[in-house]
Amino acid sequence: VTDIIAVFNAGSSTLKFSVFRHDDFSLIHNGTLEVPDSQDGHKKALQQALGWISAHKDGLKLHVAGHRVVHGKDRAKPEKITAKILTELKTLIPLAPLHQPHNLRVIEELAALHPELPQVACFDTAFHRTQPKLASMFALPRRFYDDGVKRYGFHGISYEYIASVLPKYAGDKAKSRVIVAHLGNGASLCAMKNLQSQATSMGFSTLDGLMMGTRCGTLDVGVPLYMQQHLNMTTDQVTDTLYHKSGLLGVSGISNDMRTLEQSDAPEAGEAIALFCHMAAQHCGSLMSILGGLDALVFTAGIGEHSARVRREICHYLTWAGLSFDETLNQKNATQIHAKGSKIAAYVIPTDEEIVIARACRMIS
């Protein structure tokens, strides 16, 4: 019988489920389960996952379960879940209404089915807790900060993975001034020094910063006020517009999927991709000032790992700063895509959030 770690990443319509050996972290299974749109949708998907484990011919024993939890507030490390921690994490639902309830539901369902099983939560916010205070502040009246209205940052599990492997790719540069571009359906940038987060483009909510698949990214806050006050949109309509109808989907009017847009001849598709790169370059510039320059830029996640066009456009914006780009390497999705002699190195490194959660499970349980 093999001891295993199960890793869950619960979204609104899917439950990603990975299984690792407990002794050497080798991957046994990786899959995505559909969550039916019903009260017990997550429970059914979880039962399917547990069914997969118990039906496995080699005999697997579930030792510990790890979960991606989007919001951990001020927590800087993963935590073993207790009833008390679960209650605290539920109070954060208003801070991440699209993700947190699903993440916690799976933890609760699993605890009901297996009360003795140790469970570990890894937080997308945790990696950013090394940021200096200024990077986490809004210029609002002070009492809002004290009430938790501040910049938390997200995609921290992905950034932690990149930080863990970057020295292997970039040598000494890894510890200098680095920007990691996590460009997936959700997207953000993280500025690192000494492999620690110094600033990030996402803030209080998962809306801020880069343009995304369906989210708008940085937006003049006067716009949602105008929508409510003068366009007679309700709070729900504004929320739905900003989270689900904007970004690549909203600007192209075609799709939230970069692959579809790259294959389209419609001018709106081209404009959506151009705006995506424009906003990414703008935020790079902003983070470069905080870092005092840049030594390495890392692309990761679905778009970052696979879209040669997006990488080329973003890198072209950084020519002024000394990034010289090798299009042949870029077309090959090579690990290193800068030209010889470039002042700024550019890398393509696949992320692996699941392995970060699996490692945390073994450390903690």
Sequence-distant (≥ 6) Cβ neighbours of residue 171 within 8 angstroms = none
Task: Please state the closest distance from residue 309 (CB atom) to ligand AMP, in A.
Answer: 8
* Distance from C-alpha of 204 to C-alpha of 11, rounded to nearest angstrom: 19
Active site members: 124
Task: Tell me which residues touch ligand AMP (CB under 6 A).
Answer: 184-185, 213, 257-259, 262, 301-303, 306-307
Instruction: Tabulate helix, strand, coil % of the chain (nearest 5).
Output: 45, 20, 35
**Cβ closer to ligand AMP: 206 or 307?**
307
Query: Of all residues in this chain, which one has the CB nearest to ligand AMP in the complex?
Result: 302
Buried b or exposed e, range 317-347, using 16+ CB within 10 angstroms: bbeeeebebbeebbeeeeebbbeeebebbbb
Task: Please state the closest distance from residue 333 (CB atom) to ligand AMP, in A.
Answer: 9
Strands of the chain, DSSP E: 2-10, 14-21, 27-34, 60-69, 79-80, 119-123, 178-183, 187-193, 196-200, 296-300, 345-348
Task: Please state the closest distance from residue 211 (CB atom) to ligand AMP, in A.
Answer: 11
**Cβ closer to ligand AMP: 16 or 67?**
16
* Distance from C-alpha of 221 to C-alpha of 324, rounded to nearest angstrom: 36
Task: Please state the closest distance from residue 148 (CB atom) to ligand AMP, in A.
Answer: 27
Sequence-distant (≥ 6) Cβ neighbours of residue 360 within 8 angstroms = 66, 78, 120, 122
Yes or no: say if 197 and 160 are a contact pair by the CB < 8 Å rule: no
Which residue, chain included where needed, has tokens 């999927």? 257
Task: Please state the closest distance from residue 113 (CB atom) to ligand AMP, in A.
Answer: 29
**Cβ closer to ligand AMP: 216 or 303?**
303
Q: What would the two tokens of residue 172 be?
A: 């000494």
**Cβ closer to ligand AMP: 237 or 264?**
264
**Cβ closer to ligand AMP: 131 or 307?**
307
